[in-house]
Amino acid sequence: MNLKIKTAVTIAFVFIVSMGSCRAQSDIPFHEQIAFDFYCSEIIGTSQFKEKLKVSTDFNSLFYISAECLKDKIFNEKKIEVYQKSKYFQGYLLDLKRLNKTQFKKVKHINKYSNSNNYVSVSNAYTFNNRIFVQIEELIEKNERTFTFEFDEKGNIIDWCLSSKAMHLSFE
């Protein structure tokens, strides 16, 4: 074979192999998006509140998971790891195109520590003992709630619950 044919065959081979690996990566479920979509449709649903919930494509980091409300309870577990197969590591962000614009307002970033406005934030997917978790935190009119979602490897929600409630107090 001459050099041009060898080069063309090599390029075609690399292209075909890379296409196969891209397809395999896209088959991995986007746990964070699945949890957010479930939250929007099943938890918030048609709720009404004074201000829209701010939402960003950024993901939260978690330092522990505490979800005593799950069937298989977790108590303040700190030995969690970021789920390495998460689409987050492939550059995926939350798809916010289908948001209900009467309930949500898309923003670039949410500063939860100085923000007294309504917001919702989604965590990265984390693992513990071969279990996959995503948490969604919301603040609506000074009432904070955290929902914990547990997934299987295929992206099915195994269990979810309201894992914590709190009230934000402000002193002036």
Q: What is the pLDDT of residues 78-97, one digit of tens each?
A: 888 888 888 877 788 899 98
- Give the model's pLDDT for residue 5: 60
Residue 13 CA to residue 102 CA, distance in Å, equals: 50
pLDDT digits (tens, 9 = 90+) for 21-80: 343 446 789 999 999 999 999 998 867 777 889 999 888 888 878 888 888 888 777 888
Is residue 22 situated within a structural domain? no
Host domain of residue 56: 29-167
pTM: 0.78
Is residue 9 situated within a structural domain? no
Is residue 91 situated within a structural domain? yes
* Number of domains observed in the structure of the chain: 1
Query: Is the CB of residue 50 less than 8 Å from the CB of residue 105?
Result: no
pLDDT digits (tens, 9 = 90+) for 5-25: 655 555 554 445 444 434 344
